[in-house]
Amino acid sequence: MAPHAHTESVAAPALPEALVVALPREEVVARLDGLARRGKLPECTLDRGEVLFSVHAYGAPFDSVLEGVTRSGGQPLRIDLRLRMLPKLPVIFALIILLTIWPGVWLTDSMLRTYFSWYDFQTWMWYLPVTIIPLPWTLRGMVRRSRLAAQICAAELLADITPALGASVYSAQPKTDSVVGVPNPTT
């Protein structure tokens, strides 16, 4: 029997901590601009102070942004990488959930009373637990899936960025097995 898609565990690719580039900052910006113009870097913004580049990393349903931050302009140039979830959509999602729960009680109650003349229960007593109790697990799953999708997207973006800049990857963390998180002695 084949495993189902929802039971398989997918490991998020480990993102490097930083990229080290021997090029000057202006050349890095020019090369990233070239990638962006060819459509390789979605919603790319370049050279905003410390943030050298900012690229959209698509998640499902919440998107993230991959940022390359430089602390100094020295040679070689170290670009620290950070992946953060964009807060706008999770906030909108939470507001919609909060603002639609109680109207859902009214709608469900009126529908049940219209179609079933014998229905004489307090709908809110069962409707609120049915809608509110699963929310933490649902939201946690959505955030996890979004982070996983964003990490996969960020790894694909870095696969384009790294060779274009001739960058070397810096990672202070030891390589681990993909699922268990145990150090992998073979690599």
The answer to whether the CB of 8 falls within 8 A of the CB of 179 is no
* The predicted structure's pLDDT at residue 66: 96
Spatial neighbors of 83 by CB under 8 A, at least 6 apart, are 15, 57, 64, 65, 66, 67, 150, 151, 154
CA distance 32 to 19: 13
Q: With bands split at pLDDT 50, 70 and 90, how would you rate the model's confidence at 180?
A: very low
For residue 66, the one-letter residue type is L
pLDDT in tens, 37-84: 999 999 999 988 889 999 999 998 999 999 999 877 678 889 999 999
pTM for the whole structure = 0.78
